[in-house]
Amino acid sequence: MRGKFITIEGTEGVGKTTNIQYIQDWLQAKGLSFVATREPGGTPLAEQIRDLLLAPREELVCNTAELLLMFAGRAQHLDQVIEPNLEQGLWVLCDRFTDATYAYQGAGRNMSDNLIAELETIVQGDLRPDLTLILDVPVELGLKRASDRSEPDRFEQEKTAFFQSVRNGYLRIAQQDPERCVVIDASQSLASVQHDIQTALEAFWLASRDTE
Ligand code: T5A
């Protein structure tokens, strides 16, 4: 039996890293074998691509280079980590995936959704996440949380309007694909956010058992 592919998404500082541990505990409590990974990154080569993408630099990174680097890392990550583990029946929990490309490069940088969709098909074939949790907070709150935590990376140096477009991009994805995506109000207390995450996971788990 093939494993399930769960992704967690959202703009900067929404709490993905904080809540991944909670999801791992839930998977463990259910007795499910899983791997937790992230994008950009997830393999030694893809982590090097991540470093290239996130490092603040003087040189302007052109949108096409950024987009292709995202998909180059993703191709490696899929080949080395995501596909083999799903194939072996493990669940894969991934901090960001291709929805981030539609939100950041598509909605944020104004790159064409058709171009992203073409690359998605080349790199992923028909592989898509089974469940996507979109943590949603007002942009200012997410940026405040992120800046309280660490120095800004190259993306976090963007203006608020960029992240507003990214947030709208995520909300649009959720509207277009309500079967797969669950939007969680991540401006609540951590306990309330985790309660909502648990509700979404339980519903998904029950539905996936019914279809086995
Ligand atoms: N990117 C990525 C693209 O442009 N295209 C792509 O295709 C992909 C895959 C990756 C960057 O790459 C871009 C998007 C990103 O800019 P990243 O590290 O994955 O970078 O993403 P970030 O959003 O930068 O991750 P962060 O680590 O900054 O944010 P998180 O993980 O969402 O937030 P987290 O958990 O670190 O929380 C931030 C702070 O808030 C607190 C936490 O304790 C922490 O201090 N917090 C809360 N406080 C109060 N109440 C709550 N409910 C809280 N939840 C968290």
Q: In which domain, by residue range, is 54 found? A: 5-210
Q: Which tokens in the block code for residue 140? A: 């200012």
Q: What percent of the chain has pLDDT over 70?
A: 100
Q: Quote the CA–CA distance of 119 and 137 in Å, as a whole number.
A: 29
Task: Look up the CATH number of the domain holding residue 64.
Answer: 3.40.50.300
pLDDT exceeds 80 at position 14: yes
Q: Residue 118: its pLDDT value, please?
A: 98
Residue pLDDT, tens place only, 31-41? 999 999 999 99
Pocket of ligand 1 contains residue 90 by CB under 6 Å: no
Question: Could you give the number of structural domains in the chain?
Answer: 1
- The separation between CA 105 and the C-alpha centre of its own chain, rounded to angstroms, equals 13
Longest dimension (CA), the chain: 53
Nearest residue (CA) to ligand 1, atom 22: 12
Q: Quote the CA–CA distance of 5 and 139 in Å, as a whole number.
A: 27
Residues in the chain: 212
Residue pLDDT, tens place only, 131-188? 999 999 999 999 999 888 888 889 888 889 999 999 999 999 999 999 999 999 999 9
CA of 181 to the centre of ligand 1 (A): 18
Please provide residue 32's backbone torsions phi and psi, each rounded to the nearest 5 degrees: -95, 135
AA identity, residue 125 = G
pTM check: above 0.85: yes
Pocket of ligand 1 contains residue 94 by CB under 6 Å: no
The residue whose CB lies within 8 Å of the most ligand 1 atoms, and thus the one to mutate among 8, 11, 18, is: 18
Residue pLDDT, tens place only, 82-129? 999 999 999 999 999 999 999 999 999 999 999 999 999 999 999 999
The string of DSSP codes covering 119-146 is: HHHHHHTT---SEEEEEE--HHHHHHHH
Q: Residue 10: its pLDDT value, please?
A: 97
Pocket of ligand 1 contains residue 96 by CB under 6 Å: yes
